[in-house]
Amino acid sequence: MLTVTKQTQVNIGGLSFSGQMTRQAEGVVAESVALDAAVAGSLTTRSDDDSGTVTTPVEHGLNSADTVNVFWEGGCRYGMDINSIGVGGDTVTLEGGAGDVLPAQDTSVFIAKQVSVAVSVDGDLAVYMVALASTRGHIAFHTASACLHAVSLPASEAWEWASEHGIANPLTGDPIVEILASAGSGSAASLQLGILYDSVT
């Protein structure tokens, strides 16, 4: 049996709150992933809510086959396809994806390649999950056919879910087979992810 223990300490309005949460289960997913820095650019053409062209430095390392996440202040559109890269290499045309609609033309953005993390877990059996990125980031939990749940991660702020707290399990559905992650700033990041889950039996 595996155990997760979380200590909480909060100070607000002159009051101090402390507590401890413990969960136990048979299985665990524990991943530590390095994420490359995102590419800075500007949305110089906004075709519609989910397509446009970003002007970037020439040496950006992006390819026409890449699927990327696009970040800007206050928003993120994830799972966008690169349609084309300009002849000079300094423009990247994007379309599709999900999440927030693209921002206004000429907004500063970051483009980040998605990193694939292979996992195998039935989210219906989860009792606790947590993710933490050292910079702003994004993770998306995928089944064999679709994105089941996506989360934007503020820098150094943990996202978590725990059973028995009255909040629906966000990973209910088909089993998770892949997590797609990216940093959302011009700095490389480290991502840590943990899922504690019960046995099928």
pLDDT for 200 equals 66
Indicate the DSSP class of residue 72: E
104-158 pLDDT per residue, tens? 999 999 999 999 999 999 999 999 999 999 999 999 999 999 999 999 999 999 9
Ranges in the chain, pLDDT < 50: none
Sheet with 147-153, edge to edge strand ranges: 115-121, 176-183, 137-142, 147-153
Instruction: Identify the residue whose tokens are 């999900």.
Output: 98
Cβ atoms < 10 Å from Cβ of 169: 16
pLDDT for 88 equals 86
Tokens of 28: 């665990």
**pTM listed for this prediction:** 0.93
Tokens of 77: 């559109």
pLDDT for 201 equals 52
Give the span between the Cα atoms of 11 and 14, in whole angstroms: 7
